[in-house]
Chains A and B, each alone.
Chain A
Amino acid sequence: MSEGNAAPKETPGMRISDKVMIEMKGVNKWFGDFHVLKDIDLTVKEGERIVIAGPSGSGKSTLIRCINRLEPHDEGSIVIDGIELTEDLKRIDEVRREVGMVFQQFNLFPHMTVLENCTLAPLWVRKMPEAEARDLAMSYLERVRIPEQANKYPGQLSGGQQQRVAIARALCMNPRIMLFDEPTSALDPEMIKEVLDVMVELAREGMTMLCVTHEMGFAREVANRVVFMDGGEIIEEAPPEAFFSAPKNSRTKEFLAQILAH
């Protein structure tokens, strides 16, 4: 384990293996003339929990959206669990089956019930029998503590409930990696905790997670590495203790001073 002083919060499920799940090498990306990602190198091992922080517009979201190719990268290589991401649609679909994603705006399908949202991909992508998909969905809805909402429509739920459904929906594909793109930024303050609790639990069970967030408490509690980005570059990478107490780069210091000030 990389950080010795983090031992007390570690649980057996949080062990990190040597297996490399995500390997990004020399990744560059442009939006038109705008250079969003600059020479990104990032390696994530199975069971690691990475929090990506940084000012807005720093390329955090774009970085994790490249991992399931919602954004194609222009240069460099991205290998997910042994599969290199290229133009090849078959490989992209293979990667997407193994990588779950949770969005800032939840992006639940409003015309389907909560249960239908969760069973959609198992039924059509995994070709699972209907009863099995339903049982699987119900078990994940129980884990995010909203089984009683299964037959409601997303529009009838609160933001926090919707985001928990979105997490359950992603988990129903039994992904090996979970990506979180600012999962609590669109929530009212009193709902942030219920979503973070679910994410902490998921981390304890050993899920490989990449999380773009401004929740520094969450980063302290579950991350084993914090990645700080600014201007499309990875500026600093450190275990949370080191990151928060002894940031090396001046831009990191400035950022931390701003977000921890209040």
Chain B
Amino acid sequence: MAMEDVTGRPPPKSQMRASPVVWARRNLFSSVGNTVLTLACLYLLWLAVPPVLDFTIFSAVWSGTTRDACLGPDKGACWPFIRANIGQFVYGRYPADEIWRVNVVFGLGAVALVPALIPSAPAKRFNLIFLLVIYPLIALVLLAGDRPGLRPVPTSEWGGLLVTLVVALTGIVVSLPLGIVLALGRRSSMPAIRMLSVIFIEFWRGVPLITVLFMASVMLPLFLPEGMSPDNLLRCLVGVALFSSAYMAEVVRGGLQAIPAGQYEAARALGLSYWRTMGLVVLPQALRHVIPGIVNTFIGLFKDTTLVLIVGIFDLLGQVRAQLSDPSWTVPQGALTAYIFAALVYWVFCFGMSQYSNFMERRLNTARER
């Protein structure tokens, strides 16, 4: 309909692109109140930005191999501290000669993930099967080394970014499908299934994640028979995955509720079964509606992984804190530097997810024009 070529008058001047000066006068200084707000914002930026830039860049120490480089008045961030400990931050206490195994897992994951995220890349189905089924198995074998020819590395020696990624990715990969099933269950017409889903969701949503982790780590072994105690990290993985599934279920349910009844009716009237109706007609639309909510949950989950610290698992943040007590690197600005570094790493991952979700939303919207 909107495709026709309409020739008419050009739009009035007020809709044309304005020069920067005109734009600023119209948007930043249009009234007394607006001018005051603009000036106040500029003042706040002037207060906040220069000190941060000074500490992290201009006065920061960039070279050196010992703490002596960072000592002295007016020295900013102590980046050599990060460089000296980067191995711990990424791999934790993973044995040094076995680190290649972690690198293979990281590299393989990156190689498989990138084409999976590019919508136009070929062989999507194989790529996803590899990423969701084969890759986790390879990663498990390589990281744990529970096979002949590989030295076993207990999970108590894993740490740093490795643990953060393992916990976050397991949570993400498990919570989306499980959340969808729970959301469908909560809207099911069968009372037993509906009740089970509601109980599951409300139980996990009602408990703080810290409690879940404590229960998994400390209480669970007490209830289980002697000698039958699953790995500590594994217990936390299960706890995090179930916890985030409950949140995911409610996000997905929000999307399901936005789909008009007519869509179900049209699909059922064509003879499609319940599962095909859901899988082909309802879920593709529902999930699109809630991409921001889904990614929001993923981002929350990614940052919540830092809580595993309290049950003695050293994720990235835990490892950063642990290295702070290293006496050979005690400098006054050490803690601040370390936390800025940790924050930056988390921010890069979360911002990446957020940008990817924006990209997908825009893509799906232009494909549909609705």
Contacts and interface: CB of A to CB of B under 8 A. Distances in A.
Interface of A: 68, 70, 93, 96-97, 99-101, 103, 105, 107-111, 120-121, 124-125, 153-158, 166, 169-170, 173
A110 B270 CA distance: 16
B335 interface: no
Given A97-B271, A120-B281, A155-B369, 20 more contacts: A70-B269, A93-B271, A101-B266, A101-B269, A103-B262, A103-B265, A107-B266, A109-B263, A109-B285, A111-B285, A111-B368, A121-B271, A124-B272, A124-B276, A153-B369, A153-B370, A154-B370, A169-B270, A170-B269, A173-B270
Contact of B368 (A101, A153, A169): A153
B263 A120 contact: no
B3 to A, nearest CB: 8
Q: Which 7 A-B residue pairs are closest in the complex by CB-CB distance? A: A155-B370, A107-B266, A121-B270, A107-B262, A101-B269, A96-B271, A97-B271
Q: What size tier do the contact residues of chain B reach?
A: 20 to 34
B270 A125 contact: yes
B124 interface: no
Nearest to A152: B369
Contacts of A68: 269
Contacts of A107: 260, 262-263, 265-266
B192 interface: no
B273 interface: yes
A111 B288 contact: yes
Nearest to A69: B268
Interface of B: 1-2, 260, 262-263, 265-273, 276, 280-281, 284-285, 288, 367-370
Contact of A173 (B2, B263, B271, B288): B271
Nearest to B263: A107
Nearest to B285: A111
A107 B259 CA distance: 11
A156 B280 contact: no
Contacts of B263: 107, 109
Nearest to B281: A109
A110 B369 CA distance: 9
A68 B265 CA distance: 10
A165 to B, nearest CB: 12
A95 to B, nearest CB: 9
B109 to A, nearest CB: 30
Given A70-B265, A110-B368, A125-B270, A157 B1 contact: yes
Nearest to B276: A124
